[in-house]
Amino acid sequence: MTEVRRNTLLHLPDMPAPRTTHWDDEDEDDASPRGQKRWFHYIPVLLAVLLMLIPHPSLLLVLVNYHLRVLKSPARFLFHLLATYTLTFLAFSSLILILARDPGPVTSPRMAEAADSLDEREDMSFMQALLATEEDDKRPGNWCRKCSAPKPERTHHCSTCGRCVLKMDHHCYWLGDRCIGHRTYAAFIHLLTCIVFLSVYIAVLCVQAVYFAFTNPLAIDENTPLHDIYLAFYGIIMALVFGSFWMYHIYLTTTNQTTLENVSPFLLLRHLPPLPRPPPDAQILSDPPLEHQLSHAQRRLVRDAHFHIRAYDVGWRKNWAQVMGWDRPWGWVPRLLVGGGCKGDGQTFPRNPRADDMLARLADELVSIDKD
């Protein structure tokens, strides 16, 4: 019996080596996950709420003094009041959704059954992660060594939260110290949109009031222009700060990228097909290769390819429909209220049909550039 077992072990190296499951390079930090949140972790979100509410007393004063008392136009007063408070209400609805909804729990029927028993979870061993089957090899997902569980594609482990998040975009300290993921990214876009539109609206409204005050100094009291100037600068600054951030996420949504995918070019390595056989004197890379194994020329090649290869870009119309979660021609209209949620289960996504050929060429170039 012992002899048979020895013979089996001796023949293991002769087996064809399977493609190993890729470990997350960005998860290699040894920072321990944060424990239960304390009260001071919510200070940033309270400051964000304060920034949204602080202009409203001055805004009410301007609307009453300027539009009602000076211009004597109740219709304009009601219109501007309705517009500003509608945008404020929509912004708070998205903020509440982000704080109340889980950004993306990594669950599936197979994993849920395994989680019912500690013994079943222990059966998912390290060797099972390494000896990936051919069917698993076709999926671009990986294995999280910190959660000891499979990670669907576009899922990342947040070291701050100590968990994996479906289609994680980033961890936001200003929004309750939470991650923005598959189930909250649409509400995050909606929140930024409402804040930018509200800031621009207040800035334009108050710049007009400031111009009127300078051209008609005797028609209005001396205190109202001070509030006009304060609100005009406040709206311009907020529009510039949040507007640049908003435009960046509009670009990410249009191209169907997350922040992590956009700023981490080496995430492309996860999607590479099996590498061609390298020459005898070339550096041997794992399959898929890891970032720290690449030479300088190979790193530059991956960075350049990152600007052209978008694995999940299926056209701007389908990208917006997928991210914002509508599937009908006018499905975007209800999403104006709270932003909604992304389509699908957050574990599989439509892929760019041209990406596979581009990734195959990148794999060939990674090996050929090492020959040179």
Which residues form the catalytic set?
A: 172
The two three-digit tokens of residue 266, written as one number = 């080496």
Number of neighbours of residue 6 by Cβ within 10 angstroms:
10
Phi first, then psi, for residue 158 (nearest 5°) are: -95, 115
Q: How far is CA 353 from CA 181, 196, 345, 350, 357, in A?
A: 24, 35, 21, 9, 8
244-252: which pairs have CB atoms within 8 A and are 24 or more residues apart?
245/192, 246/192, 246/193, 246/195, 246/196, 249/188, 249/189, 249/192, 250/189
Nearest-angstrom CA–CA distance, 152 and 171: 19
Nearest by Cα to 81 from 202, 191, 199, 194: 202
Is 272 in contact with 357 (CB distance < 8 Å)? no
Nearest by Cα to 166 from 115, 104, 210, 225: 104
The two three-digit tokens of residue 77, written as one number = 């007063």
Amino acid letter, residue 236: I
Nearest by Cα to 111 from 144, 73, 82: 144
Nearest-angstrom CA–CA distance, 24 and 358: 22
Residue 31 backbone zone (phi > 0: left; psi -120 to 50: alpha; other: beta): beta
Nearest-angstrom CA–CA distance, 285 and 140: 18
